[in-house]
Amino acid sequence: MADQVGSLAHASNVYWNEWVGELASLLVGLTIREGGLGFAPKPEYEFYARDSTGHLFTRAYTEPEPAALPAPAPTGAKAFISNSGTEANEGAVKFARKYGKELWARRTGRPWEESTKTRFLCFEHAFHGRSMGALSATPNPKYQKPFTPLVPGFDVGTLNDMSAVELITEDHCGVIVEPIQGEGGIFECNVEWLEAIRKRCDEVGAVLIYDEIQCGLYRTGTLWAHSHYPISAHPDIVTMAKALGNGYPIGGILVKDHIAEAVTIGSHGTTFGGNVLAARLAHYVLTRLSAPSFLEHLSIITAALSARLSPLPGYFPALVSSVRGRGAIRGLAFHTPEDAGRLVKMARERGVLFLTAGKDAVRFVPSLNVAVKEVEHAMDVLESCLVVMSGEKA
């Protein structure tokens, strides 16, 4: 990486660089192997990739080993690399709208410029970003009101409510949803509901977008939060960021081939997205995250977190209503919304930083390389705060 930092690179999407292609290949290959975006898990799947030093290897479900003859490069999806999560969602919205217009034109025989297939469905408590398109899909007055008027054409449904399926019409080009809502309160989608959404999208030709910026990239123990879902609940597009760069600015859009065909040259672009340093760094991070040794560590961490959080509604029934989420994206919900903020303040005074999520929950979304002792310490502080708060209510 030191060599790469010292290299000159053109900051323009007109120029090719090796590592953005390697990152795309790794993202697609891991998705095919571990499941997601319409692919059933295929643990035996091997594909061509490179390690962080540039050496060739075959990526199987073991630690990477040098390959004399590479396995085929993965196919079936394409990646667009951006600079952030909100940019990834902006791109996904653009892709869905362009695909929808062209689909409408093919079906009606009329010019795509006349298309009415431009609407989107998003959901209450969602958070998709702070730029105008992503913000328009984030139905929270706290974020939206200062910046109105927003981008038109966004309808709002209720998460896990089957009546939301009926909101998807022939005029909808896309539906965007987080499989596990992060900012909104750690609410997880029901698989049966997602299957109904998927079915309706297929009926009207709408693109289904999963925003996995917070819940994806192994936070739930699998590559994508939807990796273990039946294919009937898979999306057409998945967006990512956060863990992809381990703190460095990068985001990405993974797109099924038939949607990607609509994204022709000039349809979308980025000056710095997929730059050599960001792409190489993200490739290294993803290689580390997907290593079996790291996934074993992650399973230990999530088990420790679950073991400490799960009993809390029983220990503190007057305070805690439920534990939400799974893996390393969890939420502790309170009967009284003010108690969530109170707990965050008390924990901060004791040297541990928590965040609220939505109106009534505290979220636990630790770094994936967190140590067990750090989890235990945070949970000790959490319990001590709950004991004090419980005493105050007695």
Digit-coded pLDDT (tens) for 270-305: 989 999 999 999 999 999 999 999 999 999 999 999
Do residue 277 and residue 307 come from a single domain? no
49 forms beta bridges with 57
Give yes or no: residues 145 and 204 share one domain: yes
Among candidate residues 266, 290, 314, the one where a domain is terminated: 290
| Contact predicate 256/237, CB 8 Å | yes
Report the number of distinct structural domains present in the chain.
2
Q: Is the pLDDT of residue 62 over 70?
A: no
Q: In the predicted model, is pLDDT for residue 63 greater than 60? A: no
Does 219 share its domain with 328? no
Q: What is the mean pLDDT of residues 38-62?
A: 68
Q: In terms of domains, do 254 and 386 share one? A: no
Contacts of residue 375, Cβ cutoff 8 Å, sequence gap at least 6: 301, 304, 305, 308, 366
The CATH number given to whatever domain includes residue 105 is 3.40.640.10
Q: State whether 131 and 263 are in the same domain.
A: yes
- Are 76 and 28 members of one domain? yes
Q: Is the pLDDT of residue 57 over 60?
A: no
Between these two residues, 391 and 8, which has the higher pLDDT value? 391
Q: How far apart are CA 122 and CA 3, in angstroms?
A: 44
pLDDT of residue 75: 78
List beta partners, residue 166.
Answer: none
Q: What is the pLDDT of residue 51?
A: 60
Q: What is the DSSP letter of 152?
A: S
Instruction: Say whether pLDDT at 59 is over 60.
Output: no
217 plus 357 within the same structural domain: no
User: Is 3 within the bounds of a domain?
Assistant: no
Residue carrying the six token digits 């998945």: 238
More confident residue, 182 or 5: 182
pLDDT at 45: 86
Q: Is 134 exposed, middle or buried (0-12, 13-18, 19+ CB in 10 A)?
A: buried
Residue 4 counted as domain residue: no
Q: Where among 290, 315, 345 does a domain terminate?
A: 290
Percent of the chain scoring above 90 in pLDDT: 84
> Is 135 part of any domain?
yes
78-133: per-residue pLDDT in tens? 999 999 999 999 999 999 999 999 999 999 999 999 999 999 999 999 999 999 99
CA atoms of 121 and 80, how far apart (whole Å): 23
3-state secondary structure of 321: strand
Q: Report H helices in the chain.
A: 2-5, 18-34, 85-108, 132-136, 141-144, 191-204, 257-260, 276-289, 292-309, 312-315, 337-349, 372-393
| Domain contains 322 | yes
- Check pLDDT > 70 for residue 206: yes
Measuring CA to CA, how many Å separate 276 from each of 11, 319, 375?
9, 49, 35
d(CA 222, CA 216): 8
Integer Rg of the chain from CA? 22
- Classify residue 264 by burial, with Cβ atoms within 10 Å: 0-12, 13-18, 19+: exposed
- Output the pTM of the full model: 0.92
97 lies in the same domain as 219: yes
Indicate whether 5 belongs to any domain.
no
Rounded Cα distance, 220 and 159, in Å: 20
Residue that finishes a domain, picked among 244, 267, 290 = 290
pLDDT of amino acid 12 = 59
* Close Cβ partners of 278 (under 8 Å, ≥ 6 residues apart): 81, 83, 245, 248, 249, 250, 272
283 shares its domain with 296: no
Residue 10 lies in a domain: no
219 plus 187 within the same structural domain: yes
Q: Mark whether 187 and 313 lie in a shared domain.
A: no
Average pLDDT, the chain: 92
User: Do β-strands 119-123 and 172-177 pair in parallel, antiparallel, or remain unpaired?
Assistant: parallel
Q: Is the pLDDT of residue 71 over 80?
A: no
Give me the domain span that covers residue 72: 16-290
> Domain for residue 203, yes or no?
yes
Residue 273 falls within a domain, yes or no? yes
Phi, psi of 140 (to 5 degrees): -130, 115
Whether 283 and 362 map to the same domain: the answer is no
Query: Can you tell me which residue has the tokens 């750090």?
Result: 374
